[in-house]
Amino acid sequence: MALRQISIAGAPKIGGEGAHGEVYRIAEDTIVKVYRPTVSMEAIQREKQLARWAFVKGLPTAISFDIVQVGELYGVVYEMINARSASDYISESDENFEKFITKSVELMKRIHSVGVMPGELSDMKEKTVGWIKILKNTFPPKPVCSFLS
C-alpha cells in the first residue's frame, strides 16, 4: 500500500529535535513527527499504535491519524495539541522546573494506574532506569528543587 506523500516545506519545526525525529506543524490543528532514517517502520507503527492505545485508555495524548511519507522519510500525523515543549517551559524559571517534575510524577502515577493486560505493553523499567542514570549527569550537582534532594 502506497503511503500518502506530504511536504514539510515551509512548515515550522515545533520544539527541538528528539531522539527519533522532529515535529513540524503542517496545519493549524495538525502536526507530523518525521522520523530519522534509522527508525524502522515497525517502530513507527508501534509508536502510532501506542499513542492510540494511550488515548483510548484515557491518558492525555495527541490523536494519531496516519503514517505518511515525507520525501524519503516517514512520519506520523497527529492532531495539534495546545502545548509547548518541556524545555521551553522549564527554562522560563526554576519554579517551572519543580512544577514540571511534580506534573511528571503525577502523570507517571496516572499512567501506572491504567489497567494493562499481561504482555499488552513492553516492560520499560530497565530502559527508564538507564535513561535516569544518563540524565543524572546533565543536571547541576546541587538540586534546584526539593524532588531531587
CATH class label, 4-79: alpha beta
Between 74 and 16, the more confident residue is: 74
Would you list the domain boundaries of the chain? Answer: 4-79, 86-144
pTM score, whole prediction: 0.68
Q: 71-89, pLDDT tens digit by residue?
A: 999 999 998 777 777 888 8
Vertex 17, ends 106 and 137: CA angle to 5°?
60
Q: 116-149, pLDDT tens digit by residue?
A: 888 777 777 877 888 788 877 777 666 656 555 5
* Residue 74: Cβ-neighbour burial (10 angstroms; 0-12, 13-18, 19+): buried
Closest CA to 33 of 76, 95, 70: 76
